[in-house]
Amino acid sequence: MYLWNHNRRFNDYSSYLSSIFGGRIQKLTIDAGFSCPNRDGSISVGGCTFCVNDAFNPSYCASSKSITQQLIEGIEFHNRRYRRAVGYLAYFQAFSNTYSNVDDLRAKYYEALSIDGVKGLIIGTRPDCISTEILDLIEEINQKYYVVVEFGIESCFDDTLEKINRGHSFQTAENTLKELEKRNIKTGAHFIFGLPDESISKMMSYAPIISELPIKTVKFHQLQIFKNTIIAEQYKENPSRFKMFELDEYIAFIINFIEQLNPNIVIERFAGEAPPRFLDVSTWGLMRYDKVLSLIEKKMEERNTWQGKLCQNTH
């Protein structure tokens, strides 16, 4: 029934990392002080309509600190709260972490890799912020360390990408993913369900498209509307344009979705979670992601279903 060497009904991220590193691996989020071409005027100003990066940054993560300090504090933080990991991945998360010159990127990436216990990098960025020189640098690092370049793609449809002020097309994302695949560099992608004017059927049509992408990992988030964002104002003006899932409704949707998803793609997240103080609109209350995941897995067992059950493409 499954293609994986574990008992879960989806290709889960923790098992994937454990199979590579032989134990628990913890991601350590870094704010390395990067900007974004969608904020500084290179493409646009104001950023994506939904964006509030601070909602996803842990307490130790701040651009006022050095990369070294953030990682050391991150290791101490996780050692206090969780069981000890066998290693760490430095996660360059805030904004576009390839949006600089190669010398700056080299210095920051290798500073992170110099910290004891750091086994590799996860580099969050945009598909339009990758040059040949940057590809060369990432390929160099990839030969010695675990590396994933993680792209915010958000939607498979250009009309939606325009509405959220994303500043790039879906074709740009496809092309960039293929360039990294040529160099054997692992990639991840992020998608949001509930963006303006996307029906359930339109969102479901992502599944075969994503299944064809040359990605190793994927994150799915339900739309969360944060305070003081453009999308919060748009929601107030016309809430019917947005799909704000109730919890039970989202669980049914995401299970139907992953039944059609390529089982070789590793699922890192099914849903998003952010501190309540950032949320302008919330349909799930204070429920933590671990609880949501447990409910999804319980429902999958009840339905006797699994990732890829209805998928036609298993590249």
In this predicted structure, what is the pLDDT of residue 43?
Answer: 56
Q: Is the pLDDT of residue 75 over 50?
A: yes
Candidate from 14-18, 80-84, 305-309 with smallest mean pLDDT: 80-84
pLDDT-derived band at 172 (thresholds 50, 70, 90) equals very high
Candidate from 41-45, 195-199, 243-247, 303-307 with smallest mean pLDDT: 41-45
Encoded amino acid at 64, one letter: S
The two three-digit tokens of residue 88, written as one number: 């760490």
233 vs 26 pLDDT, higher one:
26
Secondary structure class of 205 (helix, strand, coil): coil
In this predicted structure, what is the pLDDT of residue 95?
Answer: 79
Q: What is the mean pLDDT of residues 237-254?
A: 93
298 vs 273 pLDDT, higher one:
298
In this predicted structure, what is the pLDDT of residue 164?
Answer: 85
> Which residues, 6+ apart, have CB-to-CB distance to 220 below 8 Å?
191, 192, 193, 254, 257, 267, 269, 270, 271
Q: Is 117 exposed, middle or buried (0-12, 13-18, 19+ CB in 10 A)?
A: middle
Q: Is the pLDDT of residue 131 over 90?
A: yes
**Helices (H) then strands (E): counts for the chain:** 11, 9
Residue with tokens 């010159």: 101
Q: What is the mean pLDDT of residues 281-297?
A: 86
DSSP sequence for 208-233: HHHHHS--SEEEEEE--EETTSHHHH
236 vs 179 pLDDT, higher one:
179
Q: What is the mean pLDDT of residues 48-73?
A: 73
Decide if 170 contacts 156 (C-beta within 8 A): yes
In this predicted structure, what is the pLDDT of residue 56?
Answer: 53
In this predicted structure, what is the pLDDT of residue 225?
Answer: 83
pTM: 0.91
Most distant pair of Cα atoms in the chain: their distance: 53
Q: What is the mean pLDDT of residues 109-135?
A: 95
Q: What is the mean pLDDT of residues 21-46?
A: 76
In this predicted structure, what is the pLDDT of residue 294?
Answer: 97
Q: Is the pLDDT of residue 158 over 60?
A: yes
Pairing of strands 225-226, 186-193: unpaired
Tens digits of residue pLDDT in 259-282: 999 999 999 999 988 776 666 567
What percentage of the chain exceeds 70 in pLDDT? Answer: 86
Tell me the pLDDT of the chain averaged across its residues.
Answer: 88
The phi, psi pair for 61, rounded to 5°, reads -95, 115
In this predicted structure, what is the pLDDT of residue 314?
Answer: 66
Distance CA 77, CA 135 (A): 32
In this predicted structure, what is the pLDDT of residue 39?
Answer: 57
pLDDT-derived band at 55 (thresholds 50, 70, 90) equals very low
Candidate from 93-102, 272-281, 284-293 with smallest mean pLDDT: 272-281
Nearest to 156 by CA among 172, 166, 167, 170: 170
Q: Is 205 exposed, middle or buried (0-12, 13-18, 19+ CB in 10 A)?
A: middle
